[in-house]
Chain A
Amino acid sequence: MLKLILKRFGVAAATILGASLFSFFLLRKLPGDPARLVGGELADEATIASLRHSMGLDSPLPQQFWNYISASFHGDLGFSYSTGQPVSDLVRTRLPATVELGVTGVVTAVLLATVFAAIAVYRKKRGADVSLRVASSLAMGSPPFWLALVAILLLSVNLGIFPGPEGRLSPSLAPPPTVTGFYTVDSLLSGQFGTFVDAARHLILPALTIAVGPFAFLSRLFRSQLRNTMREPFIVVARSRGLTRGSVFLRHAVPNSLLSLVAATAMLTAETMTGSVLVEKVFGWPGVGSMTVDAILQKDFAVVQGVILLSATLYVTVSFLADIVYVVVDPRIRAGAK
């Protein structure tokens, strides 16, 4: 088992290295000189040359890559010239907003998908199943940024149920004292109940928009997994011993099918990063996604590189952990590896 985990770890490390190599060389192909972008149009040649030297741009490419990798191990992701701050500081202030949004979205998606898929498979009438398939097809086909706009128009502007696209809190409120960086958690910790309600109301619509794509994917997966499990011999055996259909379903079929969701949920972390770029933009959510969009439009390559490295690392780490969960939980995989 340890050997298997070590092997998976090696693959994960090699993947992150590959991803950083890829992004490094892609962004070094940037037209225009990063030193010129930092120094501005009017800087003279000597200034540019010294900037190039201080940014390490005059050393050979492999050397630059090595410097970049070893610095990022120390948490140094470079310097953002458009905001005048270190990239790691920028990411640190922005990340909690994205994580709060992403986690709420993915958890909502997992809950809705398992409940609705279970109902669709359990009910013998086809109505529930057909409606789930229609709903998930539509969810799969809808552009998230467009859905966000429609939701704002209908639910915020016309009905006034939710606040408009103004970020994480109403402009009149001050953020709660930072403990976790999640406004909903921090406001509860400091006992500011009014702030909690406001933060939660701002969170619901963006989180639901983010949940749409993952919901479509997970509900399909869980539905087909459940249907396959229900055909397994051990289900027939359990039924033949006199267990009711309901108890076989809840106590045997559902737990055995849930495992398949682990890897998919891990994979969806990357998807959610993608989704959050757009949804953050629409809702004015001050997270990593909207920062990345601004950085790209301003050619702030250090920020883009940092975010890319971060999201690749996140993705690889989460899928590595999912692999480990399988190895630990499912004896069949351990047996297969021997």
Chain B
Amino acid sequence: MAVAVAEPRIAVARRRIVQSDRVLVGALAGLALIALIVVAGPFLWHYDANAADLTAQLAAPSADHPLGTDNLGRDLLARVLDGARTSLGAGAVVVVAGAVLGSVTGLLAGALGGMVDTALTWLTNSILCFPSIMLAMAVVMALKPGIPAVVIGLSIHSFPWYMRTIRGEVMRIAALDFVKSTNAIGATQGRILFRHIFPHLISTIVLQMAAVFGASVLSLAAMGFLGMGAQPPTAELGAMITEGQQFFLTGQWWLAAFPGLVLLIAVTLTTIVADRARELLDPRGEYIVAD
């Protein structure tokens, strides 16, 4: 056990992931595969997402069109690939924007305290009492329907979560002995914050990003579904479900089924990864305690 104590937490976690957590490895592999397919989509599949073929309208899944075609005869596989790129890409933008904004405000609130802390906490409390979709809808109304407005709205809604956890962590770590001793040997406040405290926050931030990603992708799709996100002819998974809705109940189930299934798989895998990673990295998590 003496060896394990000297080993950094991340390294212990990495060793344990590979040794024991097949679920996590499987989920990560699945996500990596999705990312690869989504990025390489246009090279893998020869149909164009926006090429209408009026001789092949609403065709059921077949060898030529594995997921069928839509009411304009566009190949659904190509559109799902395109749509997944839009949805997952926009979700990634929300995650990064929220993380940057949340880290900066969290560091400021945690390190400065006082008025800055009070003001930022008030602001984030006020933002958090809106449901995420409500906030996104308000931004859409103030700007115009489309993915940029939705991304702005969801980023505003996601940064308070980062800010809260980071603020708490900064305050906790700043009270630890190693920070006090760094201060005693004359390090500046800025150096302590960025060289000594920030590295300890990275696992917290990454966990938060994983949790935000799944929720953001679903909210983006929801906004697309309501007609306030992606505008036609942009392929986006939520908007594609809306387009397929009218045909769904008349027998052309594939139009709405496949985009939803892709959302389901991607978000479920993210949730599993976020969950497992939390158990491995969070010092209060059960795996670490059991060690």
Contacts and interface: CB of A to CB of B under 8 A. Distances in A.
B264 A26 contact: no
A326 B183 CA distance: 39
Of B228, B260, B265, the most chain A CB neighbours within 10 A belong to B260
A316 B128 CA distance: 10
B131 to A, nearest CB: 4
A274 B128 CA distance: 13
Contacts of A31: 142-144
A188 to B, nearest CB: 31
A168 B52 CA distance: 39
A145 B222 contact: yes
Given A137-B268, A143-B263, A274 B249 contact: no
Interface stretch (A15-23, A57-65, A76-84, A190-198): A15-23
A278 B241 CA distance: 12
Interface string A136-149: 01101111111101
A299 B141 contact: yes
Contacts of A201: none
Which of the listed residues B140, B214, B267 has the most CB atoms from chain A within 10 Å of its own CB?
A: B267
A29 B152 CA distance: 15
Interface stretch (B37-45, B67-75, B269-277): B269-277
Interface stretch (A42-50, A233-241, A247-255, A303-311): A303-311
Interface in A51-88: none
Given A15-B122, A137-B271, A304-B141, A271 B222 contact: no
B209 interface: no
Contacts of A157: 249
Contacts of A143: 218, 221-222, 225, 238, 241, 260, 263-264, 267
Given A143-B260, A281-B226, A296 B131 contact: no
Given A277-B133, A293-B226, A311-B130, A141 B270 contact: yes
Of the four ranges (under 10, 10 to 19, 20 to 34, 35 or more), the interface on chain A belongs to 35 or more
A14 interface: yes
Interface string A1-36: 000000000010011111101110011011100000
Given A18-B122, A157-B249, A296-B140, A278 B271 contact: no
Contact of A16 (B129, B132, B221, B266): B129
B123 interface: yes
Which of B141, B257, B286 has the most CB atoms of chain A within a 10 A radius of its CB? B141
A270 interface: yes
A17 B222 CA distance: 28
Contacts of B150: none
A22 B222 contact: no
A331 to B, nearest CB: 23
Nearest to B145: A297
Given A18-B125, A146-B260, A152 B241 contact: no
B147 interface: no
Nearest to A164: B249
B268 A22 contact: no
Top 3 A-B pairs, shortest CB-CB distance: A18-B126, A141-B268, A146-B260
Interface of B: 122-123, 125-127, 129-134, 137-144, 214, 218, 221-222, 225-228, 238, 241, 245, 248-249, 253, 256-257, 259-260, 263-272, 275, 286
23 contacts: A15-B129, A26-B138, A27-B141, A30-B141, A137-B272, A140-B214, A140-B268, A141-B265, A145-B225, A145-B238, A145-B241, A146-B256, A149-B260, A157-B249, A271-B131, A274-B132, A278-B222, A278-B226, A296-B228, A297-B227, A301-B141, A312-B130, A315-B130
Given A146-B259, A149-B256, 17 more contacts: A11-B125, A30-B142, A31-B143, A138-B264, A141-B265, A141-B271, A149-B248, A150-B257, A157-B249, A277-B222, A293-B226, A297-B228, A304-B137, A304-B138, A308-B134, A311-B129, A316-B129
